[in-house]
Structure 1
Amino acid sequence: MQVVERVLADLGPYLEAVERELRQASDDSGPQMREITRHMVEAGGKRLRPILTLLSARVFGEDLEKTVPIAAAAELIHMATLAHDDVIDEATTRRGALTVNSRWDNHTAVLAGDVLLARALVMLVDHGSPAIVRIMADMIRRMCDGEIEQKASLNRLDQTEADYFDRIEKKTALFFAACCESGALHQGAEPHHVRALAEYGRDIGMAFQVVDDLLDVSGEAEVVGKPTGNDLAAGVITLPVLYLLRQDGEAGRRARELLREAPYTRAQIDEVLALVRQNGAVEYSRKVAEDFARRAREHLLELPASPGRDMLADVAYELLRRVY
């Protein structure tokens, strides 16, 4: 059985309950907010954050019903960030559907994101604990900090890998860590087990973002239905491009010349992408993602044996399958 099928078979009823929670999140709001929530929920998504929350809880217990609101709150936070991100990025579609800012307007999208975020925090207060609320609130703070840092780094060729890793940790990895940590805490896990799952989530999040950035330059993005070069067009310098820029040879020199002055034309972006694919940047970035995924699996060895632990290990492998 494939990883996705195994996870769905094990978590199916609980993921269905998460979907119900998401659909009901704005039941006490006005008609437009209810419509916006339905629109975002029906657009779908991987539901990775609820899955990580539930699987982390699954390591320590079989009855996950009480953890469903925590998992749903995590996805509501994610939905809120997407509504805000699409305004920032001036995006018009996501997952094949119109974005909230496109179907309605920027003003409405920002407020809708705020409503979803507030709803998530209420759910965490009602069903979680002060520790879980603090974990999620601090993660949101650091995510916003990462977004600000990314904006400040746009088109900057002097940034380092350390800058890149710090940014993706804040923007992506700490959310994965918070989901794993919260799921474990909600099932009463011991502190050292909670820490191990937080580290697992952080490393899985790092691997996930490196893979996502790799797909944007490797030419494999067409497989998942997205054009390549979106990050570069927006001025976001990701790991494969950083690797190319620091090369001393002709490829590095040419890349620095092409990216010296923004905005970049489509021809410039395509030439840089070709250089990335031809000069070891894809292989290097893939190895970095593999190393993060390997470290994530090592953290799981600190946990008691369970179906939840096994599926979390499988998730680490599955993330890497996207680049092979």
Structure 2
Amino acid sequence: MTTTRSAQPTTPLTAADVAGASDAIDRISTAWSSRVVGQERIRTALLVTLLSEGHVLLESVPGLAKTLASATLAQAVSAEFSRIQCTPDLLPSDIIGTQVYDPRRHEFETQLGPVHAHFVLLDEINRASAKTQSALLEAMQERQTSIAGTIHPLPRPFMVLATQNPIEEEGTYVLPHAQMDRFLLKEIVDYPDESDELMVLDRIDDGTLGQHATKVEPVATIGDVIDVQAMVRRVYVDPAIRRYVVAAVRATRHVGELLGPELGAYVEIGASPRGSIAFFQAARAMAVIQGRHYVIPEDIRELRHAVLRHRIHLSFEALADRVQPESIIDAVFRAVPTP
């Protein structure tokens, strides 16, 4: 029997690397916070997703600054931003692009769609038809589009921020479980507290927010983002942490064996290996955000809801008993030994 040894980055991060990454992240965070009040969970989710080269799904009722948060992050890093309002009549060509005939030159020319931007906000993705959702998710996965047989690579970095509204479900197309799995994180955006909501009014008064507010001045470049993304891929993940991740994800597939038949009946499908990969990528980004060149168990625990809540498929019994995926996730992490 042979044992395989986990491969580690060949070039470990230095103290100078971590300091440089921390400086860039601090500048971006400060610029973001100058426009967006509170919503620290959104900030963390966006930064982790960006540095992990993934995509994020944000769920909340309208009016909780999801568009503002996305646009501000793009402005802070000198990136191109586009917003797509998803509706049932939206076609894949409206997003990806198409060929248009030019009668003057008697030839077709390619017009790229709004998905060809660094940051793409898909507002209310659950209102787009299944065909359009499929085209969007293909672009997310392949990082390219195909128009009339020609491949058009998407820019780097490329990040999709999709939102969905948990109310007004009439006329929506729920994302299939297999497509939800392609989002690195899913964050639930809650209402601000009283002090944050008062601060929003103050910032509208002083012109920081509102329709007459100026854009955030760039504090970093696209090149800076790509450099930090490369550093994230070199963060050290100890074999014990890797085993912890795999044990937690595998436990979601055998909840009955670990936690008993009562809780086991609530989970129909556990997380796939994409859950382990998501933890692996996101935890590395979290470590860099925290100013470390290595992952610790707390990184995994802090990300557990965002990584797993959309990867666990609950049964009808769970829905009837109003059991939330977060309660199952917490129970799993209490049962799995922490290294």
**TM-score normalised to structure 2 length:** 0.28
Quick check: which one's helix share is greater?
1
Q: Choose 1 or 2 for highest CA Rg.
A: 2
Q: Which has the higher contact order (CA 8 A, sep 6+)?
A: 2
Per the normalisation by structure 1, the TM-score is 0.29
